[in-house]
Amino acid sequence: MLIVLHHSATARDVENIKKTITRMGFKPVAIPGAERTAIGVIGNKGWVDDTPFKDNRAIQEIIHVTKPYKLVSRDFHPADTVVTLGGKVKVGGRSPFLVIAGPCAVESREQVMRTAAFLKKTGVPVLRGGAYKPRTSPHSFQGLREGGLDILDEVRRETGLLVVTEVVSPEHVPLVAEKVDILQIGARNMQNFDLLTEVGRTRKPVILKRGLSATLEEWLASAEYILVGGNPNVILCERGIRTFETATRNTADLAVIPLVKSISHLPVIFDPSHATGKRRLVGPMALASVVVGAHGVMVEAHPDPEHALSDGPQSLHFRELEKLAGQLTALTAYAKKNL
Ligand code: PEP
Ligand code: MN
C-alpha cells in the first residue's frame, strides 16, 4: 500500500502515519519526492486494511499495490537509483555508460592478467570472469571455483580494476563478497530465492540477470527479494530470453530496457554476448542498447577466444573490444546530447 500525502502535510502528520503503520505490524518506508510525499507500507502478506487512515486529512490518496514488487518500483522510489561500484564507478541515472568486459570463465592467472592489462589500456573499468560456472552440461568446464576467486582478488589488487563474478549458492556469498567488488546472479539462478535473500544481506552491488524464460514481472520480483533484505544496490541485466528462434542463442529483448526503466528506478545493463551467442552480433547489439537507454553493457572478451574453455564463439577478440569501446564512446556522447 502506498499512502500519498497532501502538500500541506506536516512532519508530525508523517510521523503519526508511520506510527500507525508500525502499530499494525508493518514497516513504513518514507518516499520523499519533489512532487509529492508518500509513505509506503511493506511487510504485509496480503491486502492491508486502510480504515485507520480513512479520515486522515493529511492523506490525499491511498493506492493498493497489487504487483509482486514495491521497493524496486518507481511508485516507491521515483528518482533513478545510481549504484556505486567499488566506491568509485557509478552506474544508473545520468552516470557515464558503463562497460564491463572479460572472459566467460576464469581459466588461469595469466589469462585474467592479460585481459586486465588490456581493459586498463582501453579504459574499461570493470572486469568480469566466472569462477563458478553453472554449465548446462556437467561434462563442461565448471570453473576454477575458489582458485578463480583468488585470481580475481589478486588481479583487482594489482590493477585497481573492479571485478564481478557470479555467485551460485547461498553458502558461498560471504566468501565471494570478500573477494570481488560486484556479485552476479546468473540467469539460471534468478529465482533461487535463498541466494537472493543471502545477497540481500550484503551491501555489495549485485548484477541480477534476467532468467531464461522470466517475465518482466518475475525479474522485478526477484530484484525485490534483494531490496527487501536491505541491499539497495541492484543492477538489472537483460541477457536475452528463450523463444522459438534458434538462429541466435537467445532472443535479445531490447524493448524491455526502456520498459523496465519506466517501471523501476534500478539501473539496467545489457549483455549482448549471451543474448546472441554470436561474436559478430555482439558489437551491433551493444550499440543498439545505447539507443534504447541501457546504462551499460557486459561483454565477453578473451585473449584467445578460439581456445576459450567456455563461450568462445560469443567472446570478442581484444581488437574487436577495442573497436567497440571506441564506438560506444562516440555513440554515448551523441546519445547524451540528442536522445
Ligand atoms: C555468464 O555471464 O557467463 C553467464 C553464465 O550468463 P547467464 O547467467 O546470463 O547465462
Ligand atoms: Mn558466458
Domains of the chain: 2-63 (3.30.70.1140), 83-338 (3.20.20.70)
Q: Percent of the chain, pLDDT > 90?
A: 93
How are beta strands 234-238 and 206-209 bridged, if at all? parallel
Cell of 40: 509506503
Please tell me the residue having the least CA distance from ligand 1 atom 5: 186
185 pLDDT tier (thresholds 50, 70, 90): very high
Q: What is the pLDDT of residues 264-322, one digit of tens each?
A: 999 999 999 999 999 999 999 999 999 999 999 999 999 999 999 999 999 999 999 99
What is the pLDDT at residue 46?
Answer: 86
Which ligand lies nearest to the CA atom of residue 269 in the structure?
1
Most informative mutation of 106, 132, 152, 166 for ligand 1 (most atoms within 8 A of CB): 166
What is the pLDDT at residue 22?
Answer: 97
DSSP structural state of residue 161: -
210 lines ligand 1 (CB under 6 A): no
Please tell me the residue having the least CA distance from ligand 1 atom 8: 186
Q: What is the pLDDT of residues 187-215, one digit of tens each?
A: 999 999 999 999 999 999 999 999 999 99
Task: Tell me the residues surrounding ligand 2 (ion) with CB < 5 Å.
Answer: 104, 311
C-alpha to C-alpha distance for 107 and 112, rounded to whole angstroms: 8
What is the pLDDT at residue 270?
Answer: 99
What is the pLDDT at residue 50?
Answer: 95
Which ligand lies nearest to the CA atom of residue 298 in the structure?
1
Contact between 334 and 131 under an 8 Å Cβ cutoff? The reply is: no
What is the pLDDT at residue 211?
Answer: 98
186 lines ligand 1 (CB under 6 A): yes
Phi, psi angles (nearest 5°) of residue 66: -100, -5
104 lines ligand 1 (CB under 6 A): yes
Please tell me the residue having the least CA distance from ligand 1 atom 6: 186
For residue 32, pLDDT over 80 is answered with no
What is the pLDDT at residue 124?
Answer: 98
Average pLDDT over residues 149-169: 98
pTM recorded for the entire structure: 0.95
